[in-house]
Amino acid sequence: MDRSDQNNQRKTNMFLRLIRTTSFRFALITVSLFMMSVMLLGAFSYRATIGAAIDGVELQIDNEFQNLQKIYKLRGFGSLRGTIGMRASRQNRLLFNPYSSDSLYIFIDAQTKDLVIRDLEEVPSEALKTDRMVEFEYRRDRKNLDNTYLEPEDYEIRYAIGRLERFFNPVTGEQEAIIFLARDISELVSIRASARGVILNMALGTLVLALLLAFFSSRSFLARIDAVNRTAEAVRAGDLSQRVPLSGAADEFDSLARNLNAMLDRIERLMMGMRQVSDNIAHDLRSPLTRIRNRLESATKEPDTDFQEVIDQTSADVDRLLATFNALLSITRIEAGEQAKGKLQKVDLISVVNEVMELYEPAAEDAGFTLLTDLQQTPTIMGSRELISQAVANLLDNAFKYGHAPGRSDIEPRIEIKVAPRIGGGALLSIADNGPGVPPEDRDRILHRFVRLGQSRSTQGSGLGLSMVSAIVRFHNGQLSIGNGLANQQAGVAPAGERSFGLGVRIAFPSSPKKLLERIRDAGSEPRKA
């Protein structure tokens, strides 16, 4: 198949799809209804104008026949014939006549079958078969009314309606005369023709316009559906970065697109997380496993192995692996734990922090840290005591591990835990140390799983502590920020720069929705001040 065929095929497909769309079908129905109403309107206005005018003419003919019957009955055949003779156009063209020149007569003597008086060549054949009114064409010459020979350009085709009526002798019952009486309606006919044309054109115009409208509206409808489809196909094919384009019209399609895009954003984030985790698992679990395997292999080969030592080292490695594994599982579950949010309880941050402090205080003292606290009463937040405790514990673990300023015996290592109400509701929890800190460019990165900065690679740990904190904060709809901690230089010793601070981790918890509702209710129930 060559290109133009393909193109044609695509066009045909496009056309088929177009006419199958809902909007196209809807448009078709609209078109039909529209056409019908245009036709009805045309029919009514035709009846009311031209139809009525023709009816009027018919009525005149009927009236004149009644008149003629009266004359015939009162005065007889001769008088009837005389009346017709008076009225007939040919003889009376130039005379004043109440029956205008539009009237056409043929008087037939029923005995002799002669056309005694005639305005027309003959009775139209349609009229012979019936007593009803018929419409017919006749020729009328333009110049000489008496001229019997007419050139084609000397006459014109006119239109008329008329009918036959028979006249019977009231005494003998014999048929004595037949009169054909007609009226010229050429003007009406030409108006009628143009009216029909107008109605037809209106209907056709409506059809064309409506079809065009249907075509374009379906096409834009299709184009937007196609945009969604293309995005869905690309995503299905694995390109998660595709998004449905917005038209900017802020209509239902845009809100659909926005919802789909938000959904894709979330899926992409989850997928990225998964990918990152599997990469990191591959890296961070494989190396201790390799270590274990090598150790076991060499233990079986070398004759004088201290098996106890091998076993102890291996157990320690396996325990670390299990710890990493558990931490990963916990993070995944916390991140997937949207459904657990219904079971959040009221949490008093101060008591949570005090309990964790109580657990960590002896260890901090042993490690040479001074724990400082600044705990202010905050609004109760909705959350999980267990998870918030774990976040605080992880941050303390980290501070213990990295909070020592290396080679600075003049600095007394300190960790400060603060709890404070947050402006605009909610609570703030921060843990700061006066250690070496983290350079600003690395601050986002340390929240990622398994990320451990250069100098910390040597210490023990999974690199999951902060990412778990981050997951816990997200679970609480809170915000986590990494910033400066406590000053790690004594005042006046060196100019204060970025690196003269330890690490500070700040968690902002949102105010509980219930609290907000209570506050709104309270505000509503307060007596109004004048």
| Least Å from the CB of residue 458 to other proteins | 15
Cβ 135 vs Cβ 159: under 8 Å:
yes
Contact range with other proteins by CB under 8 A, out of 213-221, 317-325, 446-454, 501-509: 317-325
Binders of other proteins among residues 460 to 499 (CB under 8 A) are 460-461, 465
CB of 236 to other proteins, least distance (A): 32
Contact residue for other proteins among 378, 384, 434, 467 (CB under 8 A): 384
Spatial neighbors of 156 by CB under 8 A, at least 6 apart, are: 139, 140, 142
Beta carbon of residue 400, minimum distance to other proteins (angstroms, whole number)? 5
The answer to whether residues 24 and 214 touch, using CB atoms and an 8 Å cutoff, is: yes
Residue 248 in the binding site for other proteins (CB under 8 A)? no
In this complex, which beta carbon is closest to other proteins, that of residue 362 or of residue 492? 362
Q: Would you say 125 or 308 has its CB closer to other proteins?
A: 308
Is position 322 an interface residue for other proteins (rule: CB under 8 A)? yes
Q: Does 354 bind other proteins (CB under 8 A)?
A: no
- Amino acid sitting at position 525: S
CB of 317 to other proteins, least distance (A): 13
Task: Scan for tokens 């949570």, then name that residue.
Answer: 352
Residue 343 binds other proteins (CB under 8 A): yes
Instruction: Convert 331-357 to b/e letters by CB count within 10 Å (16 or more is b).
Output: beebbebeeeeeebeebbbbebbeebb
Nearer Cβ to other proteins (162/502) = 502
At closest approach, how far in Å is the CB of 362 from other proteins?
Answer: 4
Q: How far is the CB of 401 from other proteins (least distance, A)?
A: 8
Distance CA(519)–CA(529), nearest Å, equals 18
Site string for other proteins, 395-414 (x = CB under 8 A): -xx--xx-------------
- For residue 184 the two structure tokens come to 């010229």
Decide if residue 393 touches other proteins (CB under 8 A): yes
Q: Which of 13, 16, 35 is nearest to 24 (CA)?
A: 16
User: What are the structure tokens assigned to 119, written together?
Assistant: 């305005």
Total site size for other proteins, rule CB under 8 A: 33
In sequence order, the β-bridge partners of residue 507 are 429, 480
> Comparing C-alpha atoms, which of 159, 154, 200, 170 is closest to residue 71?
170
Binding flag, residue 358, other proteins (CB under 8 A): yes
Task: List binders of other proteins among 364-383 (CB under 8 A).
Answer: 366-367
Torsion of CA 125, 126, 131, 137, to 10 degrees: -90
Residue from the set 28, 256, 281, 323 that interacts with other proteins by CB under 8 A: 323
| Using rule CB under 8 A, residue 355 touches other proteins | yes
- The region of 77-85, 127-135, 315-323, 373-381 touching other proteins under the rule CB under 8 A is 315-323
**CB of 359: closest distance to other proteins in angstroms?**
5
Does the footprint of other proteins cover residue 394 (CB under 8 A)?
A: yes
DSSP 251-284: SHHHHHHHHHHHHHHHHHHHHHHHHHHHHHHHHH
From the list 362, 396, 380, the residue with the least C-alpha distance to 505 is: 396
Query: To which H or E segment does residue 204 belong?
Result: helix 186-236
Q: Which residue has the tokens 């196909």?
A: 233
Question: What's the DSSP call for residue 463?
Answer: S
Q: Which is nearer to other proteins, 390 or 467 (CB)?
A: 390
**Among 382, 357, 384, 385, residue whose Cα is nearest residue 372:** 357
Q: Which residues contact other proteins (rule: CB under 8 A)?
A: 315, 319, 322-323, 325-326, 329-330, 333, 337, 340, 343, 355, 358-360, 362-363, 366-367, 384, 386, 389-390, 393-394, 396-397, 400-401, 460-461, 465
